[in-house]
Amino acid sequence: MRRGFRERPLMERAQGSYSMTANAKAFGSLTEMQQALVLSAYAHELTIDARGGYVAGGDGLTDPQLLRRINEVQHRVAAAILSRLKSCKERYPDEVLINVIGAGAENDQMSARFRSSFRRAWKIAFGHNLSDSFQDDTV
């Protein structure tokens, strides 16, 4: 069985502990093409975040855990982009996706970094920050 956005147990776990975030609310208001655009910008931002996990100019790793988590998030982001470009309805609901890709309400340092990256991606995609009504992390 293929892993990814079709994994029901992960989706059910994410929905069970889900708390609506400003990022999820804003993301859910977008068209599929707009979602694909912001997700693509987010994927780009994640590659920049990953630079914090390896030695600049060398081959060594400084934070393998960060790189592992970014790889998993990147996998889900790529699947989400593909599903939107194909207009596939068999995917994570928008609000669950935001939580799963690290831009949700989790309260750890890495999730805070991912939320910041998501906001930068929003600005890259649309040329402006999330509106003031979407700025708080929880709604």
pLDDT of residue 1: 36
3 domain residue, yes or no = no
For the segment 102-128, what is each residue's pLDDT rounded down to a tens digit? 877 777 888 889 989 999 999 999 999
139 domain residue, yes or no = no
Average pLDDT on 24-39 reads 95
110 domain residue, yes or no = yes
Residue 11 pLDDT exceeds 50:
no
Q: Give the Cα separation of 121 and 109 in Å (integer).
A: 18
2 domain residue, yes or no = no
Residue 134: pLDDT band with limits 50, 70, 90 = low
> Among candidates 78, 74, 81, 79, which has minimal Cα distance to 117?
74
25 domain residue, yes or no = yes
132 domain residue, yes or no = no
Half-sphere CA count of 87, side-chain side, radius 13 A: 1
**Total domains present in the chain:** 1
For the segment 39-76, what is each residue's pLDDT rounded down to a tens digit? 999 999 999 999 999 998 888 999 999 999 999 999 99
Domain residues for 94? 8-127
Q: Give the Cα separation of 27 and 130 in Å (integer).
A: 10
